[in-house]
Amino acid sequence: MTDPSEAASRTATTVAGAAVDQGRRTWIAITCGAGAIGGVATAVPFVSTFAPSERARAAGAPVQVDISGIPPGGKLTVEWRGKPVWIVRRTKEQVEALKKVDAEVADPNSERKTYPIQADAKNEWRSIKPEYLVVVGICSHLGCSPSDRFAPGAQPSLPDDWQGGFLCPCHGSTFDLAGRVFKNKPAPDNLEVPPHMYVSDTTLLIGEEKKA
Ligand code: FES
C-alpha cells in the first residue's frame, strides 16, 4: 500500500513539473496516451498567449488550454489553483461503456453537493462534450492522485469486468471514465469537475463556466 504522504508528494512533483519556463510564459503539459499507461509520458509544449502570471494563477485565475494535441484515448494534465486537472479525450467506445456501470457507481447523476457540478456538465458523462472529460485529479478520500487504468478487462486490484477508469493507489477507490466513484469504496464522492468552458473547439478555459 502506498503511503498517502508519499503519494501526495508525488502529486506535487507532477504538478510542479507542469509549469516551467515561466519567463517565456510557456507551459509544459504532461500527456499520457492510452498506450503510455505504465509510466511512459511525453512532454508536449503548449504556448498559451493568455497564460496568467504566477501570482494570478495561484489566486485562481482561469487557465486557457489548447486541447488539439490530445489523441483519442489520451490524457493531458494541467495545473489550476495548484491542483492537477485532467483532460481525457474519450473514445466512442469509452463513452458508451459508461452506461454499463451506472448501477455500480455511488452517484451516477452527480446529485451530491460536495463538489457541485455546472449545469452543462451534469449528465452521465459529466462533461460539456461527451468526448472530453475534465476533472480535478485528486481523490475525494484523502487527497491522493488516482492512477490511469484506461484499459478494460481483468487486471490487478480491479474487477474482471472493468470498463476503464482510475484507481486510487492509497486505499483502493475506483472511478469510471467520467470520474464517478464506485460504490462501497473509501472515497465518498466523484472526482470534482472544475468550472470550465470552451473558448473554441480546441481551446478550453478552466476556472470559468459559461454564464447561463
Ligand atoms: S486517498 Fe484513500 S482511496 Fe484515494
User: Using a 6 Å cutoff on CB, does residue 171 contact ligand 1?
Assistant: yes
- Residue of 51, 9, 7 whose CA lies nearest to 27: 51
What's the pLDDT tens digit per position in 124-177? 899 999 999 999 999 999 999 999 999 999 999 999 999 999 999 999 999 999
Check residue 29 and give its pLDDT. 34
Cell numbers standing for residue 48: 498559451
User: Using a 6 Å cutoff on CB, does residue 144 contact ligand 1?
Assistant: yes
Q: What is the pTM of this model?
A: 0.75
Amino acid at site 212: A
Atom of ligand 1 nearest to the CA of 146: 4
3-state secondary structure string across the chain = CCCHHHHHHHHHHHHHHCCCCHHHCEEEEEEECHHHCCCCCEEEEEECCCCCCHHHHHCCCCEEEECCCCCCCCEEEEEECCEEEEEEECCHHHHHHHHHHCCCECCCCCCCCCCCCCHHHCCCCCCCCCCEEEEECCCCCCCCCCEEECCCCCECCECCCCCCEEECCCCCCEEECCCCEECCCCCCCCCCCCCEEEEECCEEEECCCCCC
Residues 145 and 86: their CA atoms lie apart, in Å, by: 11
Residue 32 CA to ligand 1 centre (angstroms): 22
Confidence of residue 83 (pLDDT cuts 50, 70, 90): very high
Residue 56 CA to ligand 1 centre (angstroms): 30
Cα 200 to chain centroid, rounded = 20
Residue 177 CA to ligand 1 centre (angstroms): 17
Q: Is 184 left (phi over 0), alpha (psi -120 to 50) or beta?
A: left
Among 171, 195, 203, 208, the one annotated catalytic? 171
Residue 203 CA to ligand 1 centre (angstroms): 31
Check residue 57 and give its pLDDT. 62
Structural contact between residues 146 and 10, judged by C-beta atoms closer than 8 angstroms? no
User: Using a 6 Å cutoff on CB, does residue 139 contact ligand 1?
Assistant: yes
- Nearest residue (by CA) to ligand 1, atom 3, is 171
Confidence of residue 20 (pLDDT cuts 50, 70, 90): very low
Atom of ligand 1 nearest to the CA of 185: 3
Check residue 54 and give its pLDDT. 64
Check residue 177 and give its pLDDT. 98
Atom of ligand 1 nearest to the CA of 143: 1
Residues 87 and 104: their CA atoms lie apart, in Å, by: 23
Active site residue 141: no
User: Using a 6 Å cutoff on CB, does residue 168 contact ligand 1?
Assistant: yes
Pick the most confident of 5-19, 42-56, 94-108.
94-108
